[in-house]
């Protein structure tokens, strides 16, 4: 089958690593994945403007609903090139829901925006997919767009670490989840090594946040980050993400509050486990059990601050103790969440079958 992803692609943001691996996995299984756009615009990806040649067109909505190379919001003209039964929406940002505001995070500014966007999605496709096992709307099917590649796995070796902790991900709605991690480290800050956060918005407002009117999405307490001597690193290409996480003894897995509420998975759900680091899950334990399995519960950051401090101190004090837990988690990821498994499910979805076996 020939799949087309309609998606705003950027090499240093969003799901670029996932898209790159879908292209590779599709070739291995005798399928093809292309992005909508002009050929050659980004060498890492395969583009085509020929929507009509696709067996299935997936509109992937993530951090923006625009397109990078032309068309912008001209969905009607684009959709008209493929029959409705071949069109699908993958809602990676939880925008296909009623308005949700919690802990400073939101999917829409107001109910009118929410309804308008859901109407857009429903005009594009009958089938709406979200990366969660627990969608709020009954007409949404679970589909974990993000996946795991065993080829990413780095040997676990904590003997020569450049950093005590590294985190790769933009600051968008993630300052307070990160604050939980930093407060757990704070009592031992002078005894551990460097801390780095990589991505947009940690040290200053992204240049495009103003014209997008999303400055509040990137709130950070600069005084506290400086107090904790957090090094802020600019965004990096997707090919460097796992190696950057591998620089630290620990790499947190944290979500914006909206994603935690919706129990979404993201690209970091899977990438962090493959890095040469100990994933520290700042997530609900039941979610961790459901996605990562029972052994990963020992890698959860407790909500109680005193217990969180003990957990972090133990990880820094004896990181080798956690190797078997990480390896067990990797095994589960490889068995259940490979890109090949995702492609097979995508074929089932595009073929019009009933709900396939869910991840």
The angle subtended at Cα 177 by Cα 172 and Cα 183, nearest 5°, is 130
pLDDT band at 209 (very low <50, low <70, confident <90, very high): confident
Q: Are residues 116 and 203 in the same domain?
A: no
d(CA 240, CA 246): 10
Q: Are residues 154 and 65 in the same domain?
A: no
Q: CATH number, domain at 296?
A: 3.40.50.2000
Strand partners, 42: none
Sign, Cα dihedral of 109, 287, 10, 248: positive
Q: Are residues 140 and 253 in the same domain?
A: no
User: What pLDDT is attached to residue 86?
Assistant: 93
How many domains, in total, are found in the chain? Answer: 2
Q: Are residues 195 and 217 in the same domain?
A: yes
User: What pLDDT is attached to residue 13?
Assistant: 64
- Does residue 164 contact residue 193 with C-beta atoms inside 8 Å? yes
Nearest to 291 by CA among 307, 305, 279, 304: 279
Q: Are residues 96 and 158 in the same domain?
A: no
355 found inside a domain: no
User: What pLDDT is attached to residue 208?
Assistant: 82
d(CA 197, CA 235): 9
Gyration radius of the chain over CA positions: 20
Nearest to 148 by CA among 265, 312, 283: 265
Q: Are residues 306 and 283 in the same domain?
A: yes
Model confidence at 12: pLDDT above 80: no
Q: Is 71 left (phi over 0), alpha (psi -120 to 50) or beta?
A: left
331 found inside a domain: yes
Indicate the burial class of 146 (C-beta count within 10 angstroms; 0-12, 13-18, 19 or more): buried
Model confidence at 204: pLDDT above 60: yes
356 found inside a domain: no
The residue ranking higher by pLDDT, 107 or 13, is 107
Choice among 152-156, 239-243, 309-313 with the minimum mean pLDDT? 239-243
* Mean pLDDT, residues 90-99: 94
Task: Kindly report the backbone phi and psi dihedral angles of residue 73, in degrees, each rounded to the nearest multiple of 5, phi listed first.
Answer: -105, 30
d(CA 299, CA 122): 39
Question: Mean of the per-residue pLDDT values for the chain?
Answer: 90
247 found inside a domain: yes
d(CA 128, CA 215): 29
User: What pLDDT is attached to residue 15?
Assistant: 78
The structure tokens listed for 181 are: 């991690």
Q: Which of 3-7, 132-136, 350-354 has the highest mean pLDDT?
A: 132-136
User: What pLDDT is attached to residue 35?
Assistant: 87
Nearest to 299 by CA among 317, 319, 274: 319
Task: Kindly report the backbone phi and psi dihedral angles of residue 67, in degrees, each rounded to the nearest multiple of 5, phi listed first.
Answer: -110, 150
357 found inside a domain: no
Q: Are residues 332 and 228 in the same domain?
A: yes
Nearest to 260 by CA among 283, 231, 236, 232: 283
Q: Are strands 105-106 and 101-102 parallel, antiparallel or unpaired?
A: antiparallel
User: What pLDDT is attached to residue 189?
Assistant: 96
Choice among 70-84, 122-136, 269-283 with the minimum mean pLDDT? 70-84
Q: Are residues 300 and 174 in the same domain?
A: yes
Q: Are residues 197 and 325 in the same domain?
A: yes
103-115 residue pLDDT tens:
989 999 999 989 9
Q: CATH number, domain at 86?
A: 3.40.50
The structure tokens listed for 249 are: 């003894």
Other C-beta atoms closer than 10 Å to the C-beta of 337 total 21
The structure tokens listed for 162 are: 């450049």
User: What pLDDT is attached to residue 7?
Assistant: 82
Q: Are strands 163-168 and 195-198 parallel, antiparallel or unpaired?
A: parallel
pLDDT band at 358 (very low <50, low <70, confident <90, very high): very low
pLDDT band at 353 (very low <50, low <70, confident <90, very high): low
User: What pLDDT is attached to residue 14?
Assistant: 65
Choice among 37-51, 57-71, 264-278 with the minimum mean pLDDT? 57-71
Task: Kindly report the backbone phi and psi dihedral angles of residue 110, in degrees, each rounded to the nearest multiple of 5, phi listed first.
Answer: -155, 165
* Mean pLDDT, residues 170-174: 94
Q: Are residues 125 and 208 in the same domain?
A: no
- Does residue 61 contact residue 90 with C-beta atoms inside 8 Å? yes
Sheet holding 195-198, edge to edge: 230-233, 195-198, 163-168, 248-253, 278-281
Residue 33, helix vs strand vs coil: strand
Sign, Cα dihedral of 63, 64, 67, 68: negative
pTM above 0.85, yes or no: yes
pLDDT band at 165 (very low <50, low <70, confident <90, very high): very high
Model confidence at 64: pLDDT above 60: no
What DSSP letter does each residue of 108-145 carry, written as one string?
-SSHHHHHHHHHHHHHH-SEEEESBSS-SSTTEEE---
d(CA 111, CA 100): 9
d(CA 331, CA 325): 10
**Residue-number span of the structural domain to which 253 is assigned:** 150-336
Q: Are residues 252 and 286 in the same domain?
A: yes
d(CA 219, CA 171): 8
Q: Are residues 318 and 251 in the same domain?
A: yes
């Amino acid at each position: 089958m020939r799949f087309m992803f309609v998606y705003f692609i950027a090499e240093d943001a969003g799901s670029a690593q996932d898209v790159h691996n879908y292209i590779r996995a599709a070739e291995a299984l005798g399928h093809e994945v292309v992005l909508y756009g002009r050929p050659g615009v980004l060498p890492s990806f395969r583009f085509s403007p020929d929507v009509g040649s696709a067996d299935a067109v997936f509109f992937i909505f993530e951090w923006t609903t625009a397109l990078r190379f032309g068309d912008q919001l001209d969905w009607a003209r684009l959709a008209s090139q493929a029959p409705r039964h071949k069109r699908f929406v993958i809602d990676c940002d939880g925008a296909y829901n009623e308005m949700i505001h919690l802990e400073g995070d939101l999917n829409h500014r107001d109910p009118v925006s929410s309804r308008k966007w859901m109407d857009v999605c429903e005009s594009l496709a009958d089938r709406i997919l979200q990366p969660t096992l627990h969608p709020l709307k009954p007409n949404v099917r679970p589909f974990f767009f993000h996946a795991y590649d065993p080829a990413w796995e780095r040997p676990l070796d904590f003997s020569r670490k450049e950093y005590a902790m590294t985190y790769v991900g933009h600051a968008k709605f993630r300052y307070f989840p990160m604050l939980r991690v930093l407060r757990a480290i704070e009592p031992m800050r002078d005894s551990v090594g460097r801390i780095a956060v990589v991505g947009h918005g940690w040290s200053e407002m992204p240049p495009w946040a103003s014209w997008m009117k999303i400055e509040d999405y990137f709130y950070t307490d600069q005084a506290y980050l400086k107090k904790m001597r957090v090094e802020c690193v600019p965004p990096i290409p997707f090919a460097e993400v796992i190696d950057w996480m591998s620089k630290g003894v620990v790499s947190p897995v944290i979500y914006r509050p909206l994603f935690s509420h919706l129990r979404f998975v993201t690209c970091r759900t899977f990438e962090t486990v493959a890095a040469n680091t100990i994933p520290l899950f700042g997530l609900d334990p039941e979610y961790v059990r459901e996605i990562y399995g029972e052994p990963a519960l020992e890698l959860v950051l407790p909500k109680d601050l005193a217990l969180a401090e003990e957990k972090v101190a133990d990880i820094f004090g004896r990181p080798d103790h956690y190797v078997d837990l990480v390896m067990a988690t990797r095994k589960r990821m490889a068995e259940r969440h490979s890109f090949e498994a995702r492609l097979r499910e995508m074929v089932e979805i595009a073929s019009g079958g009933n709900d396939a076996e869910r991840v």
